[in-house]
Amino acid sequence: MSTRQMKLGLFLWATGHHIAAWRHPDAHVTAGIDIDHCIKLARTAEAAKFDMVFCEDAAGLREANVNIASQTSRSIGFEPISLLSALAAQTERIGLVSTASTSYNEPYGLARMFASLDNLSGGRAGWNLVTSASPIEAANFGATGLRPHADRYARAREFATVVTGLWNRRAAGHDGESFSVRDRLDIPPSPQGAPVMVQAGASDDGKDLAARTADVVFSAAQTFEEAKAFYDDLKARLAAYGRQPDDVKIMPGVAPIVAATKAEAQAKYDALQELIPDDVGVALLSSYLSISDLGRYPIDGPLPELPESEGMKSRQALVIEQARRDGLSIRELARYFAGARGHWRVVGTAGEIADELQARFEGGAADGFNVMPSWFPGELDAFAKLVVPELQRRGLFRKDYEGRTLREHLGLKRPV
């Protein structure tokens, strides 16, 4: 049995991570308004000994085009800190991690909310710091009266410094560029000392902020090489902040589809792909490729000739090239993108999925994975029933919790 074991997070998101998940015949379509459903999912993950449940968040709608938005289930859901506080009372061991923005909160208020969640759960809380770039969110906070700031990462750095200072009882009083705080935090620490700090920024600024402050980093990587490059890059940045490689756990997202046979798993995936409405798929592809008018080309035809654009990233260029080489139609390419959302998709048997996870874990490309079931509850149930026991059998994942707090699950030091 290997001594090092992988960490697993359950990325909880509405009806599921596939864009058309809610249309699956067995998907729980009212997930965004059903607390009992969410409790059940968290308990499933806890019974499978997952390290944490993770909730994404945005302070606004995710899609500006109301026609496209109305064909997805992503416009409504629970505010995650409330959701996780309710889950804290209905679970015993699993970590509870919520996203919250440094652009639309104040550090004193956010420090209080997460400290309270940490106490309610007996030391199981974590905060996923995001800086929020979406103009849809910005319009909900148009004239906040907050101080103007040069850039959102400068604000985020100051925000994180103030929050961790409050949690760790450093000297009271802060008067900085964006924030001022007079008192110490009026909420005492939980059994884990302070909530776990999580981040997912992939930009240079994002990785640097993560190296400075994060305990856990979520990432998105399709290939082993991409995952490995991100992993090495981030771990190499830690020394500059006096930190050890093991102080930060890197957990890429994985979107598995598992079944008893490879053919069965592939059929499950194909059936989901069929449920993606054409205009939704094309709209998502258009925005990914930064092309505004893809909808006016024949959907069963090839991608049109596209001018080289400034905003196009190298990976997008590779995608276009591959689509041409494989002779994919716009519809085929659109479905491919809409389904995976840029994350790593693995379709196969429990053994095959375990092989893939093991290769990245042992190959130095991941410390664990943030599991993104395609639809709930079915694909979570399947992962818990088929893949988790296979990982346990190989000694790659725990058979029972070693500790009580999220820091203990993750093998993290207490904050100083």
Partner 1 sequence: MGRHMHLAVSLNIAAADGQDVLDFGQISAFVRDLEAAGVDMAIISDSAEAPSSSPFEATTLLAALAAVTDSIGLVASASTLAHQPYNLARRFASLDIISHGRIGWNATLAQNPREAANFSRPEGFSDDDFRRRAKEFINIVRRLWIGWSRDALLFDKASGRFHDPEKMHPMNFTGEFFSVRGPLNVARSPQDRPLLVMSGLKQADLDFAIRADVVLLDKRQPPEARAACEEIKRRAHEAGRDPRTIKMLAVADARQERDGGSLKALCLSSGCDGIVLTVQPRADALKDFVERLLPDLEQHGFAKAKPGRTLRDRLGLDEDGRS
In one letter, which amino acid is 110?
Answer: L
Select 29 or 267, whichever has its Cβ closest to partner 1: 29
Whether residue 237 contacts residue 339, with contact meaning beta carbons closer than 8 Å, is answered with no
| Interface residue with partner 1, options 40, 43, 119, 266 (CB under 8 A) | 119
Select 14 or 353, whichever has its Cβ closest to partner 1: 14
| Interface residue with partner 1, options 32, 193, 256, 368 (CB under 8 A) | 32
In one letter, which amino acid is 316?
Answer: Q
| Interface residue with partner 1, options 13, 16, 18, 72 (CB under 8 A) | 72
Work out how close the CB of 75 gets to partner 1 at its nearest, in angstroms, rounded to a whole number. 6
Stretch that binds partner 1, among 23-31, 211-219, 222-230, 370-378 (CB under 8 A): 23-31
By the rule CB under 8 A, 62 interacts with partner 1: yes
Q: How many CA atoms lie within 13 A of 158 on its CB side?
A: 19
**Cβ burial, residue 383 (10 Å; 0-12/13-18/19+):** buried
Distance of alpha carbon 383 from alpha carbon 385, whole angstroms: 6
Work out how close the CB of 285 gets to partner 1 at its nearest, in angstroms, rounded to a whole number. 17
Site string (162-181) toward partner 1, x via CB under 8 A: -------------x--xxxx
Work out how close the CB of 76 gets to partner 1 at its nearest, in angstroms, rounded to a whole number. 4
By the rule CB under 8 A, 83 interacts with partner 1: yes
Select 91 or 349, whichever has its Cβ closest to partner 1: 91
Cβ neighbors of 206 (< 8 A, separation 6 or more) are: 131, 153, 199, 200
SS3 content of the chain, % helix, strand, coil (to 5): 45, 15, 40
Distance of alpha carbon 34 from alpha carbon 44, whole angstroms: 16
| Interface residue with partner 1, options 25, 307, 311, 327 (CB under 8 A) | 25
Distance of alpha carbon 48 from alpha carbon 195, whole angstroms: 23
Alpha helical stretches, state H, 135-191: 135-138, 152-167
Question: Which of positions 123-162 make contact with partner 1 (CB under 8 A)?
Answer: 136, 139-147
Q: Applying CB under 8 A, what is the total number of residues that bind partner 1?
A: 73
Distance of alpha carbon 45 from alpha carbon 395, whole angstroms: 18
Give the relative orientation of helices 80-88 and 35-47 as an angle to the nearest 10 degrees: 60
Question: Which of positions 87-116 make contact with partner 1 (CB under 8 A)?
Answer: 87-90, 104-106, 108-109, 112-113, 115-116
Write the DSSP symbol of residue 20: T
Distance of alpha carbon 5 from alpha carbon 395, whole angstroms: 7
Stretch that binds partner 1, among 86-94, 264-272, 332-340, 398-406 (CB under 8 A): 86-94
Stretch that binds partner 1, among 33-41, 218-226, 265-273, 390-398 (CB under 8 A): 33-41
By the rule CB under 8 A, 273 interacts with partner 1: no
Question: Which of positions 307-346 make contact with partner 1 (CB under 8 A)?
Answer: none
Select 112 or 341, whichever has its Cβ closest to partner 1: 112
- Both structure tokens of 347: 């379709």
By the rule CB under 8 A, 30 interacts with partner 1: yes
